[in-house]
Chain A
Amino acid sequence: MTVPTLETLVRSVPTSLGSHGPVLAEIRAALRSPHTSLVSVSGAIEKDPDLTARLLRLGNSAFYGFATRLATVAEVVSLIGLQQVEALLVASSVIERFRGVALEFVTMESFWRHSLACGIAARALALARRTPKADRFFVEGLLHDVGRLVLYAQAPDLAQDVFKVYRGERILLREAESRVLGYDHAQLGAALLRHWQNPQMLVEAVAHHHAPEASGAAPIEAAIVHVADHVVNAMSVGSSGEHWVPPLRAAAWQSLHCPVEVLATVVEAVDEQLEPAEAVFLAPRSPGLGHE
């Protein structure tokens, strides 16, 4: 079987921004403009009732844990910030793009559960390190294995070959990928996100989440996702196909300068926030609402 190049596989994925496209475009324009008002951005979001409901649900969930009840989109946006809203929209638009695709090796539900858990863990770890704008780590964690989704959805025959090799030997799934394809899911995911013109930090974190020290531009971002991935694989919440708990690289952990006690906070965050996050991100789009 001919193995497609990384670029060919990436270009085979539909590029539509999905139902959140119009709002996402408006928010990106607002982020670039010096005259942005909260009212105009909130207004853009409120045109999409489904998105409005999701944002309110997220803003009032254990994910943020605000002490007061948030009743309007403007309140949510002003508390979590525009960049965070953008990050959450990117996350949901990627989930949206692959919705309804049948997979053979993992269920879509299990794949996103693992991904959401990794996003929650990465964000919790970033918060514990007092890293500002921690929501970007949620997106980086959420999308760290998106390359596997591309492989499973766009090249199921090749995925079959990868699993044949994987099951026959005591190796990690990414090693089987490299052997069959010549590249692994981290490279594939990064290429996809670069193709979709996502921020460089996100691309780097995904590209190097198995070897953070190899990242020139974002070794800390990649290390946070790497640790989060180790934790959630150990927790067995969902799966992207890997059955092992992949090794935690000591150098990556040390680069974060965290006491090991922080890991308990990360595990607790996943146990507390996974259910509300699933309700927000994985619930099917309300019929008859929004732009479509």
Chain B
Amino acid sequence: MPHIKAEQLQEGMVALGDVKNIDQMLLIPAGTVLTARHLNILRAWGVSEVEVVAGEGVPEPVDPMATLPPEVLAQLGEDLRARFFDWDDANLASVEVFRLMVQRQARRQSGA
């Protein structure tokens, strides 16, 4: 398991090398078993990738979208879309923001 994107990191993975921010300040020393707090630290500093090895018993992530009935999900998407002024399908960044909002809302509704 070499470099992993920050958003795919999970608790229980182990940092292979020292993790530093752009000012070379040490955030997480090599060999640390990542906890929720470490994942927050990486997010806070915008660290995009970390070299890790798999830890013991790392669980599979749960997809909140899979736990909601399709009609609930569709309604949720429709309500959100209606709030975007001048919605434009071709605007990839805005489409990504919308996708993230559907996920976030689904996560909240499913209690995940």
**Nearest residue in B to A243 (C-beta to C-beta)?**
B83
For this complex, into which size category does the number of interface residues on chain A fall?
Answer: 35 or more
For the complex formed, measure the closest distance between the CB of A73 and the CB atoms of chain B, giving whole angstroms: 18
For this complex, into which size category does the number of interface residues on chain B fall?
Answer: 35 or more
A77 within 8 Å of B by Cβ?
no
| Interface positions of A from 127 to 150, Cβ below 8 Å from B | 127-130, 132, 134
Contact A127-B97, Cβ < 8 Å, known A62-B40, A250-B91 = no
Please tell me if the beta carbons of B26 and A264 are within 8 angstroms of each other in the complex.
Answer: no
| Interface positions of B from 32 to 54, Cβ below 8 Å from A | 37, 40-46, 48
Q: Which residues of A contact B26 (CB under 8 A)?
A: 67
Q: Which residues of B contact A243 (CB under 8 A)?
A: 83
| Interface positions of A from 56 to 74, Cβ below 8 Å from B | 62-67
How many Å lie between the Cα of A246 and that of B104 in the bound state?
19
Please tell me if the beta carbons of A260 and B43 are within 8 angstroms of each other in the complex.
Answer: no
B88 within 8 Å of A by Cβ?
yes
How many Å lie between the Cα of A130 and that of B90 in the bound state?
27
Interface residues of A (CB under 8 A from B): 62-67, 79, 124, 126-130, 132, 134, 172, 227, 230-231, 234-236, 243-248, 250, 253, 260-261, 263-265, 267-269, 271-273
Interface residues of B (CB under 8 A from A): 5-7, 22-23, 25-29, 37, 40-46, 48, 80, 83-86, 88, 90-94, 96-98, 100-101, 104
The 3 closest A-B pairs by CB, nearest first: A127-B46, A65-B44, A65-B41
